Amino acid sequence: EADIYQTPRYLVIGTGKKITLECSQTMGHDKMYWYQQDPGMELHLIHYSYGVNSTEKGDLSSESTVSRIRTEHFPLTLESARPSHTSQYLCASSHPGGAPPEGQFFGPGTRLTVL
Amino acid sequence: GESVGLHLPTLSVQEGDNSIINCAYSNSASDYFIWYKQESGKGPQFIIDIRSNMDKRQGQRVTVLLNKTVKHLSLQIAATQPGDSAVYFCAETPSSNTGKLIFGQGTTLQVKP
C-alpha cells in the first residue's frame, strides 16, 4: 500500500480563514500532485510539482497555492477560504521515472467545507 | 480540449456476474491508461494499467481492453463481489510523459447481493 498521507481528513471552517492542507509521502517520489474532486465527479488537477522548488498550475484554475521545499512534503494553502472552495482535495505522487508503470498513488483526501 | 469520458454513470450488477465498465478517450496521442477504484471516503486506488502498444492486459479478476481505433477502454471484473462496489475512473496520460493524468467522469458500480 502506498505511503502517502493527508491531514486533516475533514475540515469545517468559516469564510475568510487561512487554511493549509498537508500532504506527505515516504516513497521518495519526485512528482506530486493536488486534485480537486466534487462528490461523484472526476478529479481535476490544480497543482503539480516535479521536485523540490518546482511547482506548476494544473488544468483547473484554483485560488490555492502550493510549495515544495522538501521532497516528501507538498502542502496546499488557501489564504482566504470561501464557500466555493468546498470540495475534496486529493494529493498524489508518482514514480520518479514518470507515469508508467505504477501510475499515481493517492492519499485519502481532505474533505473541506467552508461555511 | 482533452477529455476522458465514461459511458454510464451507474452500473448495477448481481453478485457473481461479470462487470464491464467502459471509457472513451479523445486524445489519440495518449500512450498510457489506468483504471482506478475509489471507495467512499477514500482516495483512488490503482487497479490496472495498459500501454498503448497493447490491446489487453489481465490482472487478478480484472482485465483491461484497449481499442485504439475507436479510442475505447474497458475494465472487466470477473465474478463481481460486494467489495467491488465503488466508483471506477479511467485516466490517460499524453505521450509527453509529464506524469499528468486526465480523468474521466467515473462509473458507480453497485453490486446486488
Does the beta carbon of A5 lie under 8 angstroms from any beta carbon of chain B? Answer: no
| B43 with A43: Cβ contact below 8 A | no
A-chain residues near B102 (CB < 8 A): 59
- pLDDT (tens digit per residue) in A46-94: 999 999 999 999 888 889 999 999 999 999 999 999 999 999 999 999 8
For chain B, the average pLDDT equals 88
Length reported for chain B? 113
**pLDDT computed for residue B102 by the predictor:** 87
Q: Which residue among A31, A58, A108 places its CB closest to the CB of B43? A: A108
User: Is A74 in the B-facing interface, judged by CB distances under 8 Å?
Assistant: no
For the stretch B86-111, pLDDT in tens is 999 999 987 655 678 888 889 999 99
pLDDT for res B3: 47
- Paired with A98 in beta bridges are none
Which residues in B have their CB inside 8 Å of a CB on A?
Answer: 32, 34, 36, 41-46, 49, 51, 87, 89, 91, 93, 97-106, 108
Give long-range contacts, CB 8 A cutoff, 24+ apart: A70-73.
A71/A28, A71/A29, A71/A30, A72/A24, A72/A25, A72/A26, A72/A28, A73/A22, A73/A23, A73/A24
Residues of A in contact with B95 (CB under 8 A): none
| Nearest residue to A35 (alpha-carbon basis) of B63, B64, B91 | B91
Please state whether beta strands B45-51 and A110-114 pair in parallel, antiparallel, or not at all (unpaired): unpaired
Between B99, B105, B108, which is nearest A42 by CB?
A: B105
Q: How confident is the model at residue B2 (pLDDT cuts 50, 70, 90)?
A: very low
Mutate which of A33, A42, A61 to test chain B, going by most B C-beta atoms within 10 A? A42
Sequence-ordered list of residues with C-beta below 8 angstroms from that of A97, at least 6 positions apart, any chain: none
Q: Give contacts of A97 with chain B, Cβ < 8 Å.
A: none
For residue B24, the chain A residues in CB contact (below 8 A) are: none
Contacts of A48 in chain B (CB under 8 A): 99-100
